[in-house]
Amino acid sequence: MTSHLNHHDLTAAYADVGDALKRVIEEEGQSRFLITGTDRNVGVTTACFGLAQTLSRYGLRVLLIDADVDNVDMTQQVAPHQKDGLVQLLSEQTESCEIQVTGSNNDSFHVLPLGQEQQRLESLLHSNTADQNLKRLSTSYDCTIIDAAPAYHHRTTIAFARHVDGCIVLARAERTHRKDLINTRQRLEQIPCKVLGAILNHKKQRGSRLFRRWM
């Protein structure tokens, strides 16, 4: 199945982050990244689409996974009527249900919707077969990006963080408190999950940037 993405070209805004992730993928051999936020409405889904556009233009095969159980915005934009998704894959009810997405400049990547029965996701991520199923899914791609709910408040995001190589935290300029960034980072590192850095969205100057040592 193929879908067309209605987002504007986001590569300029996320070029710095895309460059940094590309280096991590090529130099450190890491490929699975969780994108989360300090709170709601900080732009996680938009950042995921922007990173997918950027990395796909570098020639990388990119998979986006919708794992936000509170806000299935990615699924609604790409495949609002598809029943199978991440939940069905982890429960081994299906082997493949990714959707090819074409962006504004013919950049192409794939999206795995959340799927039905999303309340089962946390328990599935704790199952003995979760990591094996996610690794099998990731073998077809150079990079996997997971769109997740705020880490500090959602156990499902924490459960998913156990299965990734690193995490990026989004914050909103002039709204996010420093203590929220600290709490989110500490919560992830307790897993442990490597925090690569943060994206500061809604800055007065255009663009977003990845800060590897942001605290």
What tens digit of pLDDT does each residue of 94-134 get?
Answer: 888 888 887 655 568 999 999 999 999 999 999 999 999 99
- Structural domains of the chain ordered from first start: 2-43+50-173+182-211 (3.40.50.300)
Average pLDDT over residues 179-204: 88
Using 50, 70 and 90 to split pLDDT, how confident is the model at 84? very high
Q: Are 165 and 33 in contact (CB under 8 A)?
A: yes
Q: Are 196 and 33 in contact (CB under 8 A)?
A: yes
**pLDDT score, position 214:** 43
Q: Which residues touch 203 (CB under 8 Å, ≥6 apart)? A: 173
Asked whether residue 73 carries a pLDDT value surpassing 50, the answer given is: yes
**pLDDT score, position 159:** 96
What tens digit of pLDDT does each residue of 36-56 get?
Answer: 999 888 889 989 999 998 999
In the chain, count H helices and then E strands: 8, 9
* Sign of the C-alpha dihedral computed for residues 100, 118, 50 and 32 taken in this order: negative
What tens digit of pLDDT does each residue of 124-163 get?
Answer: 999 999 999 999 998 989 999 999 999 988 999 999 999 9
Asked whether residue 175 carries a pLDDT value surpassing 90, the answer given is: no
Single-letter code of the amino acid located at 19: D
Residue 168: what are its φ and ψ, rounded to 5°? Answer: -120, 135
Average pLDDT, the chain: 85
Q: pTM here? A: 0.89
Using 50, 70 and 90 to split pLDDT, how confident is the model at 208? very low
Q: E strands within 55-193?
A: 62-66, 99-102, 108-112, 143-147, 166-172
Residue 206: how many CB atoms within 10 A of its CB? 7
